[in-house]
Amino acid sequence: GENVEQHPSTLSVQEGDSAVIKCTYSDSASNYFPWYKQELGKRPQLIIDIRSNVGEKKDQRIAVTLNKTAKHFSLHITETQPEDSAVYFCAATGYNFNKFYFGSGTKLNVKP
Amino acid sequence: DGGITQSPKYLFRKEGQNVTLSCEQNLNHDAMYWYRQDPGQGLRLIYYSQIVNDFQKGDIAEGYSVSREKKESFPLTVTSAQKNPTAFYLCASSIRAKQFFGPGTRLTVL
């Protein structure tokens, strides 16, 4: 089955700096890669996603890049703000979207 | 996300008891999922269902059971066979790969 690894497990940045979270996956059949943000005690919220036919996708301050050859994808947050502080999860799924495989999460702390 | 509800928000179970967690969605999504989340860890798949009256085991199905009699509902039963059930349980539904989560149920074994 698929195996998704996520790094780093914790990330601390100064407000206004950029943050990058990286994930790798093992199954070359995976073709959809969402990112979720989870605030303490809350449900995960989909913040951005990318399909395997696209190399990069941007939505305001967040962007995701995908390298299919290397089987890794990354989340980029620019101009970080304290409200960006949360746990971020990457995930991968295949053509049938039957099962989503999640990374172990990155706790992002943005210091004001 | 408001279209997926879970109840109760908090649940306490005595050892040896079965408990059932409710998950309802009014989004008309075909697929529904149950995940378990332990502190500082990612989401682990318990069961998923692509259509009514059909469901599949996920990675940690032992000690859990589900049913899918209606499209809108996917209840999860935590049985006494689940030795370490204290966790945060998340239900999700999806359409065209986009997965949306309910607010979660925090289960504690006393």
Q: Which residues of A touch B44 (CB under 8 A)?
A: 102
Please report the sign of the dihedral spanned by the C-alpha atoms of residue A49, residue A55, residue A59, residue A60: positive
From A41-50, A96-105, B42-51, B86-95, the region with the lowest mean pLDDT: A96-105
- Average pLDDT for B65-80: 96
3-state secondary structure B42-105: CEEEEEEEEECCEEEECCCCCCEEECCCECCECCEEECCCCCCCCEEEEEEEEECCEEEECCCE
Any B CB within 8 A of A40 CB: no
- For residue B29, the Cα-to-chain-centroid distance in whole angstroms is 15
What pLDDT score does B82 carry?
Answer: 87
Q: Does A91 or A41 have the greater pLDDT score?
A: A91
Residue B2 has pLDDT above 70, yes or no: no
- Chain B, 41 to 70: residues with Cβ < 8 Å from chain A are 41-45, 48, 50, 56, 58
Q: What is the distance between the alpha carbons of residues B92 and B58, in angstroms, rounded to a whole number?
A: 14
What pLDDT score does A97 carry?
Answer: 66
Residue A107, classed as helix, strand or coil, is: strand
Identify the band that residue A36 occupies on the pLDDT scale cut at 50, 70 and 90. very high
- Mean pLDDT for all residues in chain A: 93
pLDDT in tens, B17-64: 999 999 999 999 999 999 999 987 889 999 999 999 999 999 899 999
What pLDDT score does B108 carry?
Answer: 93
**Amino acid, single-letter form, for residue A60:** Q
Residue A95 has pLDDT above 70, yes or no: no
CA distance B15 to chain A (A): 25
